[in-house]
Amino acid sequence: MTRLLVSVVDSAEAGLALAQGADLIDAKDPEAGALGALPLATIRSIQAGLPEDTITSAVAGDDDDVERLADSALAIATTGVTFVKLGLGRTMAQPASVAALGRRLAGHGRFIAVLFADENPPLSLTAALHEAGFVGAMLDTSQKRGIRLPDLLTMDQLSSFVAGCRQLGLMSGLAGSLRIEDIDPLAVLGPDYLGFRGGLCLAGDRRGQLDPQAIGRVARRLQAVRHGEQAA
């Protein structure tokens, strides 16, 4: 069943997103790039403002140094978020770096790797991610300039990524400047999450404010797809 991940910048946005139907609240700083980490205090305040059973994540950045990225991820794990997302850029999206990260993160069971579709990552990396102890893998985009995930990868590629994750027992997510019209074709592939930020912001500006109505529309569309309704 595909659920809605919404990236938020603070506690007020988190409450808004949850009220409008988000299933997973993802703490992220859009001013600091595709996978910009928020300060620990902000993540803690987002977490503290949500009902205890809310599923949450926070991003740890996309540093291309194993030690720095692992340090950031481990620090964020102390905030109590359900998942920590690590952006794996060009130099990190390879088996040796993934294995090294896995050794640093061992035993926590809450780390999700994010691969950037516009950096041509090896989609077969999911096997190394599973081996290294990651619990999930997401595809996103690093250049937030309006190029959407489905502009970069074919439905066959996305489908085999999702199926590969499922086979390995990894949670899967798809994101990258998605719009409401992407929900039907992507949800049918069966990822665990579709991730949104820009498509839910006023004027489509991911660094601007979340638009409650847009979140509601997207949440309702995803719900309708889950209930088997065709696009209007």
Report, as residue numbers or ranges, the catalytic residues.
28, 85
26 binds ligand G3H (CB under 6 A): yes
Find out whether 35 and 61 touch, Cβ atoms under 8 Å: yes
Question: How distant, in Å, are the alpha carbons of 10, 14, 67, 168, 216 from that of 210?
Answer: 11, 10, 33, 34, 11
153 binds ligand G3H (CB under 6 A): no
Spatial separation of the C-alpha atoms in residues 68 and 175, rounded to whole Å: 24
With binding defined as CB under 6 A, does residue 23 bind ligand G3H?
A: no
Angle between helices 40-48 and 11-19 (to 10 degrees): 40
Under the binding rule (CB under 6 A), the answer on residue 144 touching ligand G3H is: yes
Q: Scan residues 1-20 and list those touching ligand G3H (CB under 6 A).
A: 5, 7
Report the largest interatomic distance among the alpha carbons of the chain, rounded to a whole angstrom. Answer: 48
Compose the 177-196 pattern: x for residues touching ligand G3H by CB under 6 A, - for all others: xx----------------xx
Within residues 192-221, the interface with ligand G3H by CB under 6 A covers 195-199, 206
When the beta carbons of 114 and 125 are compared against ligand G3H, the nearer one is 114
b vs e for 201-220, b when ≥16 Cβ sit within 10 Å of the residue's Cβ? Answer: beeeebeeebbeebbebbbe
Beta carbon nearer to ligand G3H, 5 or 66: 5
Task: Return residues touching ligand G3H (CB under 6 A).
Answer: 5, 7, 26, 28, 140, 144, 175-178, 195-199, 206
